[in-house]
Amino acid sequence: MTNHEKPVALVTGASSGIGAGYADRLAHRGYDLILVARRLDRLDKLATDLSCRHGSNVEVLEADLTTESGITKVENTLRSDSRITLLVNNAGNGKLGTTTDISHEDSISMIALNVTALTRLTRAALPNFIARDSGAIINIASVMALHSLPITSLYSATKAFVLSFSRGLQEELAGTAVKVQVVLPAGTATEFYDHAGIPLSAFDPDVVMTTTDLVDAALLGLDKGELVTMPSVEDLELWASFDVARNKLFAATQSGKPASRYQVASGGSSEL
Ligand SMILES: NC(=O)C1=CN([C@@H]2O[C@H](COP(=O)(O)OP(=O)(O)OC[C@H]3O[C@@H](n4cnc5c(N)ncnc54)[C@H](OP(=O)(O)O)[C@@H]3O)[C@@H](O)[C@H]2O)C=CC1
Ligand SMILES: N[C@@H](C=O)C(=O)O
């Protein structure tokens, strides 16, 4: 397959960690790459390495996805480069701390990167994918989408957005050949913790996955057609029963009247 016929994947947050892992594995699978991050030196080094090892054509895009110019640069690439068949929305950050401890800048940055950038790049990629009726988007959420701790309120909320947004996209795209996979990694050994406010060393190493294991599992989940991939969860029935319960709960909300526990005795008045 000549380079112009090879599929092209755009990977955000490719300068380290999970994104760099995706870049390597996708190159190994025969993808040409467009790698996005702020650290151009890291991107250039990775591009050279992947070209040498896999013969991939690797382009780099230096972009801060929390800035208008950065996000617009990548949006334009997704809209104009029809070779792109896969978008990996991986770039993300997480400052862990209580809501009042986290700075305004860190709060805004988490939302801008984990929520706004992922949304805007998805919206930029989808029209070409839908028009061609092919293509895939991999959204990297987190198990924290399902769980909030006192130090992860905002981070968990941003990842709950990624999960919920991805599930909605899957509904929208049902019946098309455009796929959306949402991946929920648990603790993974990356530089994430250099900026999170809690060092990786604070975690039990037995519950922290390597990036290689994480990415290989997540890509196998994609190959299997999984919509929701939780690489570290052995019993997927746990997700299935969670999703069934979620559907039942939603159905129960459609009653049109207050539940009996909220019924005020006739003539009584609710305390304000
Ligand atoms: N590590 C873990 O335990 C888990 C991580 N995740 C998620 O995985 C994803 C990848 O994180 P991970 O690999 O762990 O962490 P890393 O910090 O190693 O990677 C984060 C990547 O995002 C890029 N990035 C950060 N800020 C920006 C920005 N403003 N603009 C553009 N790119 C940016 C970084 O590149 P650069 O600094 O060069 O811009 C880097 O390439 C994140 O979405 C994270 O929430 C989910 C669950 C668990
Ligand atoms: N990055 C981790 C923070 O807790 C996670 O998302 O699991």
CATH at residue 35: 3.40.50.720
Q: Is residue 78 part of a domain?
A: yes
Q: Is residue 1 part of a domain?
A: no
17 sits in the region (left: phi over 0; alpha: psi -120 to 50; else beta) called left
Establish whether residue 135 lines the binding site of ligand 1, counting it when its CB lies within 6 angstroms of any ligand atom: no
* Cβ proximity of 187 and 209 under 8 Å: yes
Cα separations in angstroms, 160 against 19, 94, 141, 163, 270: 20, 13, 7, 5, 34
Of 17-26, 127-136, 173-182, 262-271, give the lowest mean pLDDT range.
262-271
Q: Is residue 122 part of a domain?
A: yes
- The total of structural domains in the chain comes to 1
Which tokens belong to 22? Answer: 């995706």
Q: Is residue 3 part of a domain?
A: no
Q: What is the pTM of this model?
A: 0.96
Q: Is residue 145 part of a domain?
A: yes
**What is the pairing mode between strands 58-62 and 84-89?**
unpaired
Active site amino acids: 155
Pocket test for ligand 1, best of 15, 45, 122, 152 (most atoms within 8 A of CB): 15
Q: Is residue 28 part of a domain?
A: yes
> Region 33-62: what's the mean pLDDT?
98
pLDDT exceeds 70 at position 134: yes
Q: How far apart are the first and last CA of the chain?
A: 71
250, amino acid identity: F
Q: Is residue 2 part of a domain?
A: no
Domain around 96: 8-262
- What pLDDT does 1 receive? 45
Catalogue the E-assigned strands of 38-109. Answer: 58-62, 84-89
pLDDT exceeds 50 at position 253: yes
pLDDT digits (tens, 9 = 90+) for 63-118: 999 999 999 999 999 999 999 999 999 999 999 999 999 999 999 999 999 999 99
* Cβ proximity of 10 and 87 under 8 Å: yes
Cα 134 to ligand 2 centroid, rounded to whole Å? 31
Residues of the chain with pLDDT > 90: what percent? 94
- What pLDDT does 265 receive? 75
pLDDT digits (tens, 9 = 90+) for 201-229: 999 999 999 999 999 999 999 999 999 99
ipTM exceeding 0.90? yes
Q: Is residue 115 part of a domain?
A: yes
* Cβ proximity of 66 and 82 under 8 Å: no
Which tokens belong to 89? Answer: 């929305």
* Cβ proximity of 120 and 75 under 8 Å: yes
* Cβ proximity of 190 and 183 under 8 Å: no
- What pLDDT does 141 receive? 99
